[in-house]
Chains A and B, each alone.
Chain A
Amino acid sequence: MMDASDMHQLTLTQIARGLADKAFSAEELTHALLARIERLDPQLNSFITLTPEQALAQARAADARRADGETGALLGAPIAHKDLFCTEGVLTTCGSKILHNFVSPYDATVVEQLASAGAVSLGKLNMDEFAMGSANESSHYGPVKNPWDLTRVPGGSSGGSAAAVAARLIPAATGTDTGGSIRQPAALTGLTGIKPTYGRVSRWGMIAYASSLDQGGPLARTAEDCALMLGAMAGFDPKDSTSVDQPVDDYLATLNKPLTGLRIGLPKEYFGEGLDGAIAEKVLAVVEELKTLGATIKDISLPNMQHAIPAYYVIAPAEASSNLSRFDGVRFGYRCENPADLTDLYKRSRAEGFGDEVKRRIMVGTYALSAGYYDAYYLKAQRIRRLIKSDFVSAFEEVDLILGPTTPNLAWKLGEKNADPVSAYLEDIYTITANLAGIPGLSMPAGFIDGLPVGVQLLAPYFQEGRLLNVAHQYQQVTDWHLRAPAGF
């Protein structure tokens, strides 16, 4: 039997092997990780809710299924969910006070799919309130710390997912990405994370922020583990009206495809003003490595990239203002004390239940959609959205993949960007175009600067998640950035 004190080092792929070889049981593994979380998470604050009893029951059930002859790479694999995936019988807060008492009466499709594959959920992970943020500082349950430097942010909005996986508390986690919320925290914590094509992963039971942009996906240490997770999470769901009815590729089967002849585009807009020069160097070093693996490089242009941020900050808040109207203190969640009348009940429940950033975005969205402004804001933003999509469509006629930095800067200090929300919005510059266009994107570790992780982003045409995972896996066969662990974890 393997020593319990080493189990946290294992990737999902290694866990699958260990469980199959009976080196340890799912129950032993679950015990070991729960103990580790209780010991180390107080310094990170990555979990909002731990569910030890449910986790041990799921682990024992997985062990029983295996004893009955069932196999499956995720059978008994420990994971945790971002706290915006609804989990039946378990608190689901979305990082907000307004859902501080919301015990979901149903499971999200993603939760159900991972559970039926045998994955063991250890709990619910911290996040920016309603996924609105790039630093995980807008959570009602307190900020999350970056395990590489506890005075810095882990990125957001899937900051709890990123911190927990980077600190080896769990080998993989679910996240969601509306403007970069999987890729950016993956970059800032040295992980691999993938945002699939819009419609690839079901949004049912995933609390909505901006419905035309939101996509669920995994964060893990390796591309191979992301392939394993995404294989279980992806698929058609009739309960999600924008789910795409198309078979899911075998992501594991194509991981070892050689990169010979792969055409990679470098958009000049990704290497311009605003990018930390040291990050640019790391990104170009990845390009050199991929060239030695057989890729060819071409300079390209995505001329409308600069317009993505203003367009995003209309479309996302507009959709949020509509989606978040359901939180009114009537059917679930927080209700204010002693409402004078119905309007007072709505207004005070929402004012007391939502945090500042959420209120700001609701108000921006309400304004953009209000009578007389719809054409100038929402329709204008949707026209720019088409320009951004067209940029990618043209680029993908010449190249197979696009590569650039995931973020313009390294993880910043806690509190550094709180005074000016717009300065944090600008951190999304390289990631939001993929959400607006709906294409898949992946971030993988590309080295360190002053001890802080750097991420490189790969973008692919619709439904080519397999290609992204293939390239990241090949890169990870010849580099070891993804194997480095933060000191103390």
Chain B
Amino acid sequence: MALERSEVEKIAHLARLGLNEADLPRTTETLNTILGLIDRMQAVDTDGIEPLAHPLETTQRLRADRVTETNRREAYQAVAPAVQDGLYLVPKVIE
């Protein structure tokens, strides 16, 4: 099944990717080519096969609930686009 232009716009919105109006036809076409490749999966009989999420099928390891990290806020915020008083700045969200 092929994606329509409006569906591509919706996917881009879900992924928070700005889309250039001029690029939309080409993007739609390329995505449809990739989905065509992916759709070859549907011909494979996988009835009764359990999905495999982790190659070694291990479960999540747990650790003791202890503070192990030191506070390195300044180092981490040194690479942020905009900070003030230890807070990350973004455009106003609530009027």
**A interface, CB within 8 angstroms of B:** 101-105, 197-199, 212, 238, 241-242, 244, 304, 307, 309-311, 313-314, 321, 325, 328-335, 339-348, 350-352, 354, 359-360, 362-364, 366-368, 370, 376-377, 379-387, 389, 420-422, 425, 436-439, 462
Given A387, A420, A437, which contacts B44 in the complex, CB threshold below 8 Å?
A: A387
Q: List B contacts of A422 (CB < 8 A).
A: 33-34, 36-37
- Shortest Cβ gap from A386 to chain B (Å): 4
List 8 A-B pairs, minimum CB-CB distance, nearest first: A438-B55, A351-B18, A382-B51, A383-B46, A335-B81, A347-B18, A386-B52, A105-B75
- How many angstroms from the CA of A122 to the CA of B77 in the assembled complex? 27
Across the interface, do A212 and B16 meet the contact criterion of CB distance under 8 Å? no
B22 at the interface (CB under 8 A from A): no
Q: List A contacts of B37 (CB < 8 A).
A: 309-310, 313, 422, 425
- How many angstroms from the CA of A244 to the CA of B58 in the assembled complex? 9
Given A242-B54, A335-B81, A307–B33 Cβ distance below 8 Å? no
- Shortest Cβ gap from B17 to chain A (Å): 5
Q: List A contacts of B38 (CB < 8 A).
A: 310, 313-314, 364, 368, 377
- Shortest Cβ gap from B68 to chain A (Å): 9
- How many angstroms from the CA of A244 to the CA of B61 in the assembled complex? 10
- Shortest Cβ gap from B47 to chain A (Å): 9
Number of residue pairs across A and B with beta carbons under 8 Å? Answer: 168
- Shortest Cβ gap from A366 to chain B (Å): 4
Q: List B contacts of A199 (CB < 8 A).
A: 55-56, 58
Q: List B contacts of A384 (CB < 8 A).
A: 41, 44, 46
Beyond A363-B31, A367-B11, list 15 extra A-B contacts (CB 8 Å). Answer: A310-B37, A310-B39, A310-B41, A313-B38, A332-B80, A339-B91, A346-B16, A350-B17, A351-B17, A360-B27, A363-B15, A370-B11, A389-B55, A421-B33, A438-B56
Across the interface, do B52 and A307 meet the contact criterion of CB distance under 8 Å? no
- How many angstroms from the CA of A436 to the CA of B55 in the assembled complex? 7
Across the interface, do A386 and B56 meet the contact criterion of CB distance under 8 Å? no
1/0 contact trace for B71-92 toward A, CB 8 Å?
Answer: 0100110111110000010111
Across the interface, do B15 and A366 meet the contact criterion of CB distance under 8 Å? yes
- How many angstroms from the CA of A466 to the CA of B84 in the assembled complex? 52
Q: List B contacts of A344 (CB < 8 A).
A: 18, 91
- How many angstroms from the CA of A212 to the CA of B60 in the assembled complex? 13
Total B residues in contact with A, Cβ cutoff 8 Å: 51
Q: Which residue of A lies closest to B75 (CB)?
A: A105
Q: List A contacts of B50 (CB < 8 A).
A: 383, 386
Q: Which residue of B lies closest to A435 (CB)?
A: B55
1/0 contact trace for B14-46 toward A, CB 8 Å?
Answer: 111111100000010011011111111110101
Instruction: Write 23 A-B pairs (CB below 8 A) sorted by A numbering.
Output: A103-B79, A304-B44, A314-B41, A330-B81, A341-B92, A343-B16, A344-B18, A347-B17, A350-B15, A351-B19, A363-B15, A364-B31, A366-B11, A366-B14, A370-B14, A377-B38, A380-B46, A383-B52, A386-B50, A389-B55, A421-B30, A422-B37, A425-B34
- Secondary structure at the B interface, as helix, strand, loop or mixed, is loop
Q: List A contacts of B56 (CB < 8 A).
A: 197-199, 244, 438, 462
Across the interface, do A437 and B80 meet the contact criterion of CB distance under 8 Å? no
Given A242, A304, A342, A364, which contacts B93 in the complex, CB threshold below 8 Å?
A: A342
- Secondary structure at the A interface, as helix, strand, loop or mixed, is helix
The residue in A101, A363, A379 that gathers the most chain B C-beta atoms within 10 A of its C-beta is A363
Q: List A contacts of B82 (CB < 8 A).
A: 335
Across the interface, do A307 and B41 meet the contact criterion of CB distance under 8 Å? yes
Q: List A contacts of B27 (CB < 8 A).
A: 359-360, 363
B49 at the interface (CB under 8 A from A): yes
Across the interface, do A362 and B80 meet the contact criterion of CB distance under 8 Å? no
B2 at the interface (CB under 8 A from A): no
- Shortest Cβ gap from B30 to chain A (Å): 6
Given B36, B39, B52, B61, which contacts A241 in the complex, CB threshold below 8 Å?
A: B61
Q: List B contacts of A368 (CB < 8 A).
A: 38
Given B12, B49, B51, B90, which contacts A330 in the complex, CB threshold below 8 Å?
A: B90
Q: Which residue of A lies closest to B20 (CB)?
A: A351
